[in-house]
Structure 1
Amino acid sequence: MFSARRLDDGAGNRREKVSRLVDYLRECSAKGRAVDLGQAAFVTTFNLLSATFFSVDLIGFESDATQQLKETIKGVTKVLGAPNVADFFPILKRLDPQRIKKRLEFYFGGLLGVLGGIIDERMKSTPKELETKNDLLAALLDLMDGSEYDLTYKDIQHLFMLDNGARDVTKGGSDSTQSTVEWAMTELLANPDKMRNAKNELTSVIGEKNQVEESDISRLPYLQALIKETLRLHIPGPFLVPRRADRDIEIGGYIIPQHSQIFINAWAIARDSSIWPNPTSFEPERFLNNNIGFKGQDFELIPFGSGRRICPGLPLADRMLSLMLGSMLHNFEWEMEGGMRPDTTDEFGMALHKAVPLKAIPLYCN
């Protein structure tokens, strides 16, 4: 689903979703209304992924279902990121003293209900309607109908919940992309000179009237630099995906026992003063004079991990981040409601969210 060929084929779908985002921001601009930028980015990314997997848009920009789904996914990441005493004292697992298992059952139950509804609706479709579907759900239902695989209804539900690629539609892709877009706009609103640099680049490269296209991204080095700097300063998953040692191993003079659970503190690496000058400052310019990337080859910046367990949705996130941020900056001027400075406090968890959602007023400028 995330191969270069399939992503190229899906360029029109991404363009449509970003166009809807721009239309929504334009409506808010006409009414002088502040926008919850995190939620707007969440809806855009989630609908892109749901269209890829299920050929439907599941949520809207302003609906109760959107807020409920966002809170459910945020709840999953918060509970999964919470320290669990039962991890250190396995005898307590059955007791679940912090009710972590109970809360996860509640959140995952909600997500399974959403997935179940989608699958039920598809299974009621006529053969003619099914012929028009060319998504992951269609492929899985074909396998369920075949005789070669013993795939059940529940298997399909849980594949979307647990599989690395499909998990992006329910948690990873929408949550981390939303977080990065929100943090990028927060830093740009707090640093107007950086925002002006990005807008000037967009105007000079693609013109005032043209829309940002994926083919433009490689010609926008400052936009790419500010995304890298956002991922460095506000890494979506501070400890990445947990690892487990398959044997005793010595690293740096320390013995890591077999079966130990290992967390990589990518947040600390990205703020290490021996690697990054002025590590707590937002300085996209630091990436203009080097080839450091975030795709796993440069270990000083690994927001998506590295190696065989790198985030499978990275190629899609890379395109969507550039397309969404580029469109937000190129089409609108932005100001904080009441002229306040944006809050930059973060909230620790499996994903590093803003403690206070970013709400800003778009001023349409094209």
Structure 2
Amino acid sequence: MVYFVIILPIVLLLLAYRLIFTSKTHRFNLPPGPPALPVAGHLHLLKPPVHRLFLRFSDKYGPIFSLRFGSRRVVVVSSSALARECFTGKNDIVLSNRPRFLTPKYVAYNYTTVGTAPYGDHWRNLRRVCAVEILSTHRLTNFLHVRKDEIFRMLTRLSRDNVGGFAQVELEPLLSDLTFNNIVRMVTGKTYYGDEIHNEEEANLFKKLVAEINDNSGASHPADYLPFLKVFGHKYEKKVKAIGEAMDEFLQRLLDECRQDKDGNTMVSHLLSLQEQQPEYYTDIIIKGLMLGMMLAGTDTSAVTLEWAMSSLLNHPEALDRARSEIDEKIGQDHLIDEPDIDNLPYLQNVVSETFRLYPAAPLLVPRSPTENIKIGGYDVPRDTIVLVNAWTIHRDPELWTDPEKFEPERFRNRCGGGEADVHRIMPFGNGRRSCPGAGLGQRIVALALGSLIQCFDWEKVNGGAIDMREAPGMAMRKMVPLRALCRPRPIMGKLLAKSAA
């Protein structure tokens, strides 16, 4: 009986594979791709980092190729021209759905958050709330004091144990705390990491839950691709469900605290005022989903980008010297760089753009799934296919960029840090109508924090050796070896600390 239960689904799947994938493939002009195994398809080929593997496939099969992950078709796009085809006109609408995986069902409130909801009226309203009510230019400007305060905290921590000489520091924890605190304060008014943690247990729980969600995001279990494995996947499903329940309890506590704080000026307090006006739509679940999306999307990505930027500047001291000279000339050493100053620092903007190009935090854009059969590059892409855009490959395409592997901020000198001409050539925040609504916030915190680090400290490499620029596996493109560097406070830090103490 045990063998029967195990073998029968496999036999049925093999028959279904022959019926579905053999017969339907003849009806579609699918993009080319490598030979596939029965049942598993190309799952056995997936070895991290996947964006580099997909680059090798695109070199062999062309800028669009197809794969099969178990029972699910996958099409990978690796050129700017085809990305434009995906994200403009009718295709952008048809490709505005997300493929469904197990984790968002339990963590993202059954696919009702702005990042996971199907394209339609509900998603459009969530997007409008993000763009107008939460992440508008006016609201981001109102939260400038939070960004400045958290950056000053980071600078103070860097200088605390330094008495004038160079001290060795690991930047990742500082950058992570900076971006986490910034988002959480904007959303709820609470500060979690730094010198004064009022509830260390709560802070550690939050960090643990975010790490677990990131580790289990996407399709992390073979059952997402091989349906018959769901029979054996109850343990994974139970685990993901428990993560979702724990995060929901955490968010509900935060929401209840914000509800009691009548004078709060946070994103949640604004959403609660909308809840009073339209309680049937702005339920606690909708608000918690918006909180979750902000906290997950706005923390790791900015911290990862800042670490890549500092690593690149340390490996290219001439670029670091030029960025420092620009800041010294236009801002000086009497006051800390402010957000309005960024417009007058084109080279700093170019450094940020070049970091986004070479080291996008999401090398593969969040997957799309067409709601009907479409064509991309002359090939058929059937409905429900998982469509992936390899932004990392496009950002390094020699047909688009001279010396694409080289860190060269000067390439953006005539673009003022990027513009409309680059929208399908560089896309660190995605593309089309489902691009990241927090792009403006991400650019602001990265530019202001990076400029502050350059203005307030001298930086050198440890032992003079090159910084390791290998990327670690995972959805967010982290550095494999965390950045350690030598830093020494510049005169402005003494002035800032004295002013703060006065």
- Superposition TM-score, scaled by structure 1 size: 0.86
Q: Which residue of 1 aligns with 2:141?
A: 8
Q: 1:91 to 1:75 in 2, by over 3 A?
A: same
Q: Which residue of 2 aligns with 1:53?
A: 187
Deviation of 1:57 after TM superposition, in Å, equals 1.0
Whole-angstrom CA distance in 2 between matches of 1:111 and 1:25: 32
For residues 1-366 of structure 1, the aligned pairs below 5 Å read 1-30=134-163, 33-60=167-194, 69-70=206-207, 72-81=209-218, 84-96=221-233, 101=237, 104-105=240-241, 107-123=243-259, 125=260, 130-142=261-273, 148-149=279-280, 153=284, 156-161=287-292, 167-169=293-295, 171-290=296-415, 293=418, 298-366=423-491
CA contact (8 A) 1:43 1:61 kept: no
State the structure with more CA Rg.
2
CA contact (8 A) 1:247 1:258 kept: yes
Q: Percent identity?
A: 32
Deviates more, 1:30-39 or 1:307-316: 30-39
Q: Deviations over 1:256-283 (max 9, x none)?
A: 0011121111111001111112211111
Q: 1:78 to 1:327 in 2, by over 3 A?
A: same
Q: 1:342 to 1:72 in 2, by over 3 A?
A: farther
Deviation of 1:185 after TM superposition, in Å, equals 0.5
Deviation of 1:135 after TM superposition, in Å, equals 2.0
Whole-angstrom CA distance in 1 between matches of 2:364 and 2:375: 21
- Structure 1 residues without counterparts, runs of 5 or longer: 162-166
Whole-angstrom CA distance in 1 between matches of 2:210 and 2:419: 24
Q: Deviations over 1:229-261 (max 9, x none)?
A: 111111110111111101111111210001112
Letter paired with 2:251: L
Aligned length: 354
Whole-angstrom CA distance in 2 between matches of 1:111 and 1:148: 23
Whole-angstrom CA distance in 2 between matches of 1:147 and 1:9: 24
Q: 1:89 to 1:306 in 2, by over 3 A?
A: same
Letter paired with 1:9: N
Letter paired with 1:217: I
CA contact (8 A) 1:143 1:149 kept: no
- Structure 2 residues without counterparts, runs of 5 or longer: 1-133, 492-502
Whole-angstrom CA distance in 1 between matches of 2:237 and 2:405: 36
Q: 1:292 to 1:136 in 2, by over 3 A?
A: closer
Whole-angstrom CA distance in 1 between matches of 2:334 and 2:375: 58
Deviates more, 1:140-149 or 1:214-223: 140-149
Deviates more, 1:230-239 or 1:18-27: 18-27
Letter paired with 2:192: L
Whole-angstrom CA distance in 2 between matches of 1:122 and 1:175: 24
Secondary structure of 2:248's match? helix
Whole-angstrom CA distance in 2 between matches of 1:61 and 1:339: 31
- Superposition TM-score, scaled by structure 2 size: 0.64
Whole-angstrom CA distance in 1 between matches of 2:434 and 2:163: 45
Q: Deviations over 1:92-149 (max 9, x none)?
A: 345339x6645544554554343233234345x4xxxx33112232244455567842
Q: 1:172 to 1:159 in 2, by over 3 A?
A: closer
Deviation of 1:33 after TM superposition, in Å, equals 4.6
Secondary structure of 1:29's match? coil
Whole-angstrom CA distance in 2 between matches of 1:102 and 1:305: 31
RMSD value over aligned CA atoms? 2.8
Whole-angstrom CA distance in 1 between matches of 2:274 and 2:423: 39
